Amino acid sequence: MSKILITGASGFVGSFLVEEALSRGLDVYAGIRSTSSRKWLQDPKINFIELNLSDRDSLQHDIRQHQFDYIIHNAGLTKANKIADLFKVNADYSHNLAQAALASQHLKKFSFMSSLAAYGTADYQESKVVAPDSPPRPITSYGKSKLRAEEKLLDISDLPLMIFRPTGIFGPREGDFLQVFKSIKSGIALQVGMSEQWLTLIYVKDLVRVILDATLSTQADRAYFVSDGNLYRGSEFNSLIAKHLGKSPFHLKVPLPIVSAIATITDISSRITGQSNILSRDKLPEIKSRSMDCDISNLVQDHNFRPLYTLDQAIAETADWYTNNGWI
């Protein structure tokens, strides 16, 4: 039985990665912190390992002791009050783990969960599509920290590396898109900006399936953007949510200057409370972007990826989960 370590296992994507790995008969080790919740990690077949990603010596000891065949490094920060924390956790800690991974004599693959944000949005590409051969143009601190992580990992000799750059990930247990569902449930469908925004999306169950497919494959030294392969109007996404929530919301377009003003206020609030927010001035270039289009052709070619869920089916399942679990 092959042994796999999944870091960030207690979170949204991590918990689904654990479930997918278990379904494939792997010996799964959930990498967590001592303070991590195990709410979504109840299967008795899960092995738990507490990792200190800031301590290279302890990481090397743990990796050498367990001799993992596969590592999926999913742990990281999406937002923080201090930009330095994003780079420390997303880049430096990833480098620490990858260096330690070389201590495993059995390592077949080190898969890193990056983000489309590492390359920016399609607005900043001449072709208006973010493609595998596009120059990276991150426009947020988060994206820059993920790109720095990729660069540091690529500098490690003999690391059997695979990089995944998902676009917007949604599904049960997710907290950011949840705000869209809540708003529509309350009767308001928001559109940021006066013109349509084009989205690329990936349902979490399709995401983790292709990540395991690729991780367990014989290929390495590859990088992929990950979406369901379609481009959606933001209004279409909102309409499908409204349909499955049984709502006819008021459609409100929020001018970008107002969004900028709100971001300034939330930044001030974050400095006072110490709590980071989804909306910040650092995120404004991404929020203002009109297209998240990305090219997944190499993912399709290498792993025959086809989503099992349509957007309609994925939203229906997500809406049901949020409702049944009292999140909306």
Q: Which pLDDT score is estimated for 219?
A: 93
Q: Which pLDDT score is estimated for 301?
A: 97
| Reported confidence tier of residue 281, pLDDT bands at 50, 70, 90 | confident
Q: Is the pLDDT of residue 259 over 90?
A: no
Q: Which of 6, 56, 10 is nearest to 34 (CA)?
A: 10
Q: Is the pLDDT of residue 273 over 80?
A: no
Could you give all domains of the chain from N- to C-terminal order, each with its CATH number? 3-174+200-230+293-309 (3.40.50.720)
Q: Which pLDDT score is estimated for 272?
A: 76
| Reported confidence tier of residue 280, pLDDT bands at 50, 70, 90 | confident
Q: Is the pLDDT of residue 292 over 90?
A: yes
Supply the DSSP string of 295-313, one letter for each residue.
Answer: --HHHHHHH----SS-HHH
**Which range, of 5-14, 39-48, 254-263, averages the lowest pLDDT?**
254-263
Query: What pLDDT digit, counting tens, does each position of 145-200 carry?
Result: 999 999 999 999 999 999 999 999 999 999 999 999 999 999 999 988 889 999 99
Q: Which residue would you say has higher pLDDT here, 269 or 211?
A: 211
Q: How far apart are CA 228 and CA 224, in angstroms?
A: 12
Tokens of residue 178, six digits: 């949840």
What is the three-class DSSP state of 202? strand
Contact 45, 26 (CB under 8 A): no
Find the mean pLDDT for residues 214-233: 97
Q: Which pLDDT score is estimated for 128?
A: 96
Q: Is the pLDDT of residue 46 over 90?
A: yes
| Reported confidence tier of residue 284, pLDDT bands at 50, 70, 90 | confident
Find the mean pLDDT for residues 6-30: 98
Percent of the chain with pLDDT over 90: 84
Query: What pLDDT digit, counting tens, does each position of 260-272 carry?
Result: 888 788 777 777 7
Cut 0.85: pTM above it = yes
Return the beta strands (E) in the chain as ranges.
Answer: 3-7, 27-32, 47-50, 70-73, 109-113, 161-166, 168-170, 188-192, 198-199, 201-203, 222-226, 232-233, 250-254
Find the mean pLDDT for residues 13-42: 96
Query: What pLDDT digit, counting tens, does each position of 180-194 carry?
Result: 999 999 999 998 888
Q: Is the pLDDT of residue 201 over 80?
A: yes
Q: Is the pLDDT of residue 98 over 80?
A: yes
Q: How far apart are CA 57 and CA 285, in angstroms?
A: 39
- What's the mean per-residue pLDDT of the chain? 94
Q: How far apart are CA 277 and CA 289, in angstroms?
A: 19
Q: Is the pLDDT of residue 308 over 80?
A: yes
The vertex-111 CA angle with 106 and 117, nearest 5°, equals 165
> Residue 154: what residue type?
L
Q: Which pLDDT score is estimated for 93?
A: 98
